[in-house]
């Protein structure tokens, strides 16, 4: 089933934390941003990470970026900070969207931030609470059990929900390469992968580029 009005979806498949791949992502996003006027960048992160990134994009310091690095981004991989700084410098109107189940610690940090800024009764606060509960189902430290199928199901649901809110805007999505394969169905447990489900829904509007070869 297709929506009445949608843009294009450009998926970039990566191997996580590979600097050559990340540099190429920056080049491609720069082109999408400046040549095609795209603004929405979907990430294989949760909504709480994306929300903090969006707030940080308008901040005059790196406090929130440091919080993310310590709490939710790739541990002991400092290049991730420069990666996001490059986006902020050269594509300052970028709007991030995160679609994975929330990692509870960064979700809790966002709740604290919203409380501090008088948004405890906001829809964003309630949604963050909901995201945290979904995340707790995945992480053993919070009483959950990892399930690839459940995670992929949430990724797909959240991607579609966020994409269709945009009403015609095209987006770029950066995900692990197994989530972006278009020429075959990749299963996560018994759940078909993101790219297959998006292709079923949006057809030729879905495009994918495999950047994993840049790691070799």
How far is Cα 207 from Cα 11, in angstroms, rounded to an integer? 6
Residue with tokens 């009005």: 5
Per-residue pLDDT 10s for the chain (216 aa) are: 444 578 999 999 999 999 999 999 999 999 999 999 999 999 999 999 999 999 999 999 999 999 999 998 877 889 999 999 999 999 999 999 999 999 899 999 999 999 999 999 999 999 999 999 999 999 988 999 999 999 999 999 999 999 999 989 999 999 999 999 999 999 999 999 999 999 999 999 999 999 999 987
- Residue 2: predicted pLDDT: 47
CA-nearest of 186, 162, 211 to 9 is 162
CA quadruple 64, 67, 69, 73: dihedral positive or negative? negative
Pair of tokens at residue 43 = 């990430």
* Residues 51, 68 contacting (CB under 8 angstroms): no
- Residue 4: predicted pLDDT: 57
Q: Which residue blocks in the chain are alpha helix, DSSP H?
A: 19-35, 47-56, 63-71, 79-90, 104-116, 123-136, 148-165, 194-202
Please report the domains of the chain, with CATH numbers, ordered by start residue: 9-101+146-215 (3.40.50.11550)
DSSP 3-state assignment of 207? strand
- Residue 18: predicted pLDDT: 95
């Amino acid at each position: 089933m297709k929506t009445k009005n949608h843009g294009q979806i450009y998926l970039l498949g990566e191997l996580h934390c590979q600097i050559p791949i990340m540099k190429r992502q920056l080049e491609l996003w720069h082109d999408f941003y400046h040549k095609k006027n795209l603004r929405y960048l979907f990430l294989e992160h949760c909504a709480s990470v994306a929300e903090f990134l969006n707030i940080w994009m308008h901040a005059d310091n790196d406090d929130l970026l440091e919080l993310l690095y310590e709490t939710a981004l790739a541990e002991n991989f400092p290049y991730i900070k420069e990666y996001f700084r490059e986006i902020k410098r050269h594509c300052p109107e970028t709007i991030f969207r995160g679609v994975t189940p929330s990692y509870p610690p960064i979700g809790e940090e966002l709740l604290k931030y919203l409380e501090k800024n008088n948004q405890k009764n906001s829809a964003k606060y309630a949604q963050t609470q909901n995201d945290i509960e979904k995340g707790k189902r995945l992480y053993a430290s919070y009483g959950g059990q990892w399930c690839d199928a459940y995670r992929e199901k949430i990724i797909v649901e959240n991607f579609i929900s966020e994409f269709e809110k945009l009403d015609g805007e095209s987006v770029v999505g950066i995900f692990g390469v197994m989530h972006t394969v278009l020429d075959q169905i990749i299963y996560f447990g018994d759940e078909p992968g993101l790219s297959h489900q998006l292709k079923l829904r949006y057809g030729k509007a879905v495009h994918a580029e495999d950047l994993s070869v840049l790691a070799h």
